[in-house]
Amino acid sequence: MKDMHVIPADRLRAAVRMVVAGFGSSEAEVADVTDNLVEANLTGHDSHGVGMLPRYAEAFLEGNLKPNASVRTVMDAGAMLRLDGDTGFGQVVGRQAMEIGIARASQVGCCIMALGNAHHLGRIGAWAEMGVAAGLVSLHFTNVISRGIVAPYGGSDARFGTNPFTAGVPLPGREPFLLDFATSVIAQGKTRVSHNKGESVPPDHLIDNHGRPTTDPRYSVIEPFGAILAFGAHKGYGMAVLCELLGGALAAGMALHTSDTSKRRVYNGMLTVLIDPRMMGDASAFESEALAFADWVTASPPREGFDRVRLAGEPEREARARRLVEGLPVDATTWRQIVAAGEKLGVSATAVEAAAGLA
Ligand SMILES: NC(=O)c1ccc[n+]([C@@H]2O[C@H](COP(=O)([O-])OP(=O)(O)OC[C@H]3O[C@@H](n4cnc5c(N)ncnc54)[C@H](O)[C@@H]3O)[C@@H](O)[C@H]2O)c1
């Protein structure tokens, strides 16, 4: 058995479509979920790609993920919207919410949109990409309702999730600035991927169940649980708390304050701020200054160990171009878990393997 499969994007899509159909999803939902997950793998974020399917299957089987749900507007106050995701697939209700927010911001110049009750919204950068594609600045503060996995600065156990912060800024005539990261020093999914590959994680990323430093990813994946550290010491910790306060308490009306580890569902609360720079008074100054700054900053001569200076968003576009040609690496453990998840949903393992070209 190979340790790593390399699967062409089309093949992976075909196999994942079969597994997602096992949730009883409509054709449109199957396409939304599949495309979003494979796109995360294409951009290099395997932590938020097809490897999430086993977790989604468990959430569905425990009754906490509702297929074929739609987003519902709970409050509409012009530039402020409150939406409810009805515990539906984040890949679907996230897209629907962004469509509503983008339409509103394009009308009135901005929109502050609260989304609660969404199941896992995946790679949050996908939503910022939708915003910038419409010419909007797209800011996202997201919390995670699942078992806590990140320790507060100075604390010795897990108290909140990997709470991502995401910002997309359109750069006229160029690819956008797309900053999208977990506020933990490493995304939880990346510890899962390392654990599945039998690899350790770098020092200063994790603490064990006694609060001691460790490089063993098991402490983030299987019991007894330790915790991941926030990135950037007290600064990243502060951003994580901000995401909990805005994405969780304010947007979703749901913040994390329990040590219950029994449920497999992952809900995200997300506060989105959309701004139309063309309606802020001096669009031409914004455009010329943004481009001049981008040129200035990327012109810094690379220091040893670097080939050049990049803007956020570039690594994902580079990974995408490369992986479209080379195929998508999926480690054997993750692949087995995906096939097993399909079986739990009544999908034939042989058919999934054949669709991926691995039979
Ligand atoms: N839905 C959820 O609950 C949830 C929770 C946590 C994270 N996430 C997602 O996980 C994904 C991965 O997060 P992560 O923390 O592992 O990301 P990461 O550490 O890989 O950082 C990614 C960000 O850094 C930028 N970047 C990387 N290298 C760069 C370079 N050399 N120069 C300039 N910029 C550079 C990237 O363009 C990107 O914006 C994100 O898409 C995030 O939205 C989702």
Residues 215 and 160 in one domain: no
Residues 280 and 331 in one domain: yes
Q: Which atom of ligand 1 approaches the CA of 231 most closely?
A: 15
Predicted pLDDT at 1: 56
Residues 173 and 240 in one domain: yes
Residues 195 and 262 in one domain: no
**Residue 94 three-state SS:** helix
Residue with tokens 């913040």: 255
Predicted pLDDT at 311: 98
In a domain, 295, yes or no: no
Distance of alpha carbon 157 from alpha carbon 148, whole angstroms = 9
Residue with tokens 């199957």: 30
In a domain, 302, yes or no: no
CB distance 122 to ligand 1 below 6 Å: yes
Q: Which atom of ligand 1 approaches the CA of 313 most closely?
A: 37
In a domain, 300, yes or no: no
In a domain, 294, yes or no: no
- The CATH number of whichever domain residue 197 belongs to comes to 3.30.60.50
CB distance 144 to ligand 1 below 6 Å: yes
Distance (angstroms) between ligand 1 centre and the Cα of 180 equals: 4
Residues 176 and 148 in one domain: yes
Predicted pLDDT at 271: 98
Please tell me the residue having the least CA distance from ligand 1 atom 28: 315
Distance (angstroms) between ligand 1 centre and the Cα of 354 equals: 32
Q: Which residue positions in the chain have pLDDT lower than 50?
A: none
Q: Which atom of ligand 1 approaches the CA of 90 most closely?
A: 1
Residues 63 and 119 in one domain: yes
CA angle 255, 256, 258 (to 5 degrees): 140
Residues 211 and 86 in one domain: no
Integer-rounded Cα radius of gyration of the chain: 20
Q: Which of 162, 196, 229 is the last residue of a domain?
A: 229
In a domain, 46, yes or no: yes
Q: Which of 229, 244, 260 is the last residue of a domain?
A: 229
- The CATH number of whichever domain residue 252 belongs to comes to 3.30.1370.60
Distance (angstroms) between ligand 1 centre and the Cα of 231 equals: 12
Please tell me the residue having the least CA distance from ligand 1 atom 14: 181
In a domain, 159, yes or no: yes
**Residue 146 three-state SS:** coil
Residues 6+ apart with CB under 8 A from 72: 83, 84, 86
pTM of the model: 0.96
Pocket probe mutation, ligand 1, options 166, 181, 311, max atoms within 8 Å of Cβ? 181
Distance (angstroms) between ligand 1 centre and the Cα of 316 equals: 9
Cβ(255)–Cβ(278) below 8 Å: no
Cβ(244)–Cβ(255) below 8 Å: yes
For the chain, counts of helices (H) and of strands (E): 12, 13
Which domain range does residue 210 map to? 185-229
Residues 208 and 268 in one domain: no
In a domain, 29, yes or no: yes
Cβ(227)–Cβ(206) below 8 Å: yes
Residues 6+ apart with CB under 8 A from 313: 125, 168, 175, 176, 177, 178, 179
Q: Which helix H or strand E contains 170, and what residues bound it?
A: none
CB distance 119 to ligand 1 below 6 Å: no
Residues 6+ apart with CB under 8 A from 19: 53, 338, 341, 342, 345, 347, 352
- 257-261, long-range: CB < 8 A, 24+ apart: 259/147, 259/148, 260/147, 261/147, 261/223, 261/225
Distance (angstroms) between ligand 1 centre and the Cα of 19 equals: 26
Residues 69 and 84 in one domain: yes
Distance (angstroms) between ligand 1 centre and the Cα of 76 equals: 31
Predicted pLDDT at 15: 98
Residues 215 and 259 in one domain: no
Total of domains in the chain: 2
In a domain, 113, yes or no: yes
Residue type, 197: K
**Phi and psi dihedrals of 358, rounded to 5?**
-110, 5
Q: Which helix H or strand E contains 213, and what residues bound it?
A: strand 213-214
Distance of alpha carbon 151 from alpha carbon 202, whole angstroms = 17
Residues 204 and 99 in one domain: no
CB distance 195 to ligand 1 below 6 Å: no
Distance (angstroms) between ligand 1 centre and the Cα of 142 equals: 13
CB distance 251 to ligand 1 below 6 Å: no
Burial class (CB in 10 A: 0-12, 13-18, 19+), 285: exposed
Distance (angstroms) between ligand 1 centre and the Cα of 345 equals: 31
Residue 281: both structure tokens together: 């008074």
Cβ(14)–Cβ(356) below 8 Å: yes
Cα end-to-end span (Å), the chain:
12
Residues 168 and 281 in one domain: yes
